Chain A
Amino acid sequence: AQSVTQPDIHITVSEGASLELRCNYSYGATPYLFWYVQSPGQGLQLLLKYFSGDTLVQGIKGFEAEFKRSQSSFNLRKPSVHWSDAAVYFCAVASLGRRALTFGSGTRLQVQP
């Protein structure tokens, strides 16, 4: 069975600082990996996705993520955080045989001025 672990429940960073949110997955074959963001009162919005190819993927809002098969990780990064990035971030995995997403429990990002 596939699973996703987001070890950090809550992270606080200063505006302008860099950000890395951790995601580890468990799945036997090549996974399809996603990062979603959920802001208060908003639906889940896709930031970026990895299916195959280049292991460094670029997304919206200046986010990027790197797939590392050896570490079963798909960490999300942003070089300079903006106050509007405060939200809950979810990592998710899907598979060729099972299209439904398995989500991690999320990381809440707080941005200090």
Chain B
Amino acid sequence: DTGVSQNPRHKITKRGQNVTFRCDPISEHNRLYWYRQTLGQGPEFLTYFQNEAQLEKSRLLSDRFSAERPKGSFSTLEIQRTEQGDSAMYLCASSSLPTGDMNTEAFFGQGTRLTVV
């Protein structure tokens, strides 16, 4: 399977614990995005990388959240001191660089569902 891969698929954690999610993008894609989706809502943008550089962070990304993309390949999203409000589906997507003014399609992984108890 050469799509976007996310691990783990499900994570249950106690409030206050730290969690880390991994995303492996499609191999030739330079851009990688993280989104969060709560029940009944559309995905909300968290942050994105172009290669290893983190180019934009949403205001949704509090100080407890950190994302990395070392070497411009896989990415990790860490949440420290989890809260019940962090319970959501965390989606990763990747895309190639735009050509001229053409945007390019983002391919999504199946997500990591986080439940904070």
Contacts and interface: CB of A to CB of B under 8 A. Distances in A.
B103 A51 contact: yes
Interface of B: 3-4, 31, 33, 35, 40-45, 48, 56, 91, 93, 95, 98, 101-103, 105-111
B41 A44 contact: no
Contacts of B35: 101
Contacts of B101: 52, 96
Contact of B41 (A34, A92, A101, A105): A105
Nearest to A95: B103
A43 B110 contact: yes
Contact of B45 (A36, A41, A51, A101): A101
Interface residues of A, number: 26
Contacts of B31: 99
B42 A105 contact: yes
B48 A43 contact: no
A43 B91 contact: yes
B109 A43 contact: yes
Contact of B103 (A42, A45, A90, A99): A99
